[in-house]
């Protein structure tokens, strides 16, 4: 890998693509050439990067010649079509979709947890699901100490997880209701304004959604813990940005609350925010546009033996997607 690799971002006009560019700039990532790629309808647009106006190009099968690292955030179908072509052209692909996450030969990487896995790639590295990233950044320090065996979690996921359309739907419904007008759901199956919807992604035959099963399957792969069992309920809430997750974890060994706080506070990518008596605990607004996740409400679980319950919050657009991808790119150089 050259000292200043040539970078391509596929899906630059989306929220995560734009955040990827922002992370590259803010972290002073060394870049030889930056190529911005999107659909034909976005080609020709100008995007400001490091005091220059860069022109968005149409994504084609020839887009990745002379590219060292390709950051993909254009959806699973685009990734399945173009990521292998980028890898064949010599680029290392870091893909934000679910297209390759569970493939055996594709590393699934959170740099604070399993950075060494990135070196085992064969052209493609997968970025985990945003809710998985936020949860595991908080859980990992505890797992390394006491060995997690069972995970029960409920997520409270922001509408920006559905892209710009989710934000616009929430805004439009709040305005309509404030003016006494009816709302017509489009992005979500029910009204999202002043409501919560216990469905994120499609339902499967087992009664769970795809999003919920990602937590179990991806967590096993990232933590290297094939015995981990997880039961997850994913909920969409009327929050613009940052996901929150209520987590109960049972360990093979007896955990300690004070030790848990110390372990999390010393871990990379996560900070402690835990003093309920003074109203100190994480909220979505506390992490929006921030790199680190926040953990609070740590306590012994009173139902399960050897278990802790905690609350973790993180910006799913940034750490849950764009920043994590850029951190993987940093591992490559």
Which residues form the catalytic set? 130, 243
Region at 12 (left for phi over 0; alpha for psi -120 to 50; beta for the rest):
alpha
Question: Is residue 280 a contact partner of residue 274, using CB atoms and an 8 Å limit?
Answer: yes
**Cβ-based neighbour number of residue 194 at 10 Å:** 11
Rounded Cα gap, residues 271 and 140, in angstroms: 13
Q: Comparing C-alpha atoms, which of 39, 32, 45 is closest to residue 5?
A: 32
Q: Where are the beta strands (DSSP E) in the chain?
A: 7-10, 34-38, 46-49, 52-55, 57-58, 69-72, 92-95, 124-126, 148-157, 229-236, 243-251, 270-272, 293-300, 307-314
C-alpha torsion 284→327→12→89, nearest 10: -150
């Amino acid at each position: 890998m050259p000292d200043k690799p040539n970078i391509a971002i596929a899906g630059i006009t989306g929220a995560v693509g734009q955040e990827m560019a922002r992370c590259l700039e803010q972290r002073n990532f060394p870049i030889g050439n930056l190529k911005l790629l999107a659909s034909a309808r976005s080609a020709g647009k100008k995007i400001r990067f490091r005091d220059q106006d860069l022109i968005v190009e149409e994504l084609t099968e020839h887009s990745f010649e002379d590219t060292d690292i390709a950051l993909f955030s254009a959806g699973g179908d685009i990734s399945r079509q173009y990521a292998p072509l980028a890898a064949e052209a010599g680029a290392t692909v870091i893909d934000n979709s679910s297209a390759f996450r569970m493939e055996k030969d594709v590393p699934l990487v959170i740099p604070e947890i399993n950075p060494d896995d990135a070196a085992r790639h064969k052209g493609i590295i997968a970025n985990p699901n945003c809710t998985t990233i936020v949860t595991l950044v908080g859980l990992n320090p505890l797992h390394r100490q006491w060995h997690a065996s069972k995970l029960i979690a409920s997520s409270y996921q922001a509408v920006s997880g559905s892209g710009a359309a989710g934000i616009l739907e929430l805004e439009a419904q709040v305005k309509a209701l404030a003016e006494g007008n009816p709302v017509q759901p489009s992005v979500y199956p029910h009204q999202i304004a002043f409501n919560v919807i216990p469905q994120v992604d499609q339902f499967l035959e087992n009664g769970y959604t795809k999003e919920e099963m990602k937590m179990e399957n991806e967590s096993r792969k990232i933590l290297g813990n094939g015995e981990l069992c997880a039961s997850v309920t994913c909920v969409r809430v009327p929050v613009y940005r940052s996901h929150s997750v209520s987590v109960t974890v049972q360990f093979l060994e007896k955990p300690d609350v004070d030790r848990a706080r110390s372990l999390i506070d010393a871990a990379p990518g996560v900070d402690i925010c835990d003093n309920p008596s003074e109203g100190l605990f994480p909220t979505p607004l506390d992490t929006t546009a921030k790199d680190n996740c926040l953990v609070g409400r740590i306590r012994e679980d009173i139902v399960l033996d050897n278990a802790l319950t905690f609350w973790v919050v993180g910006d799913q657009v940034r750490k849950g997607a764009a920043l994590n991808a850029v951190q993987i790119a940093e591992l490559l150089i």
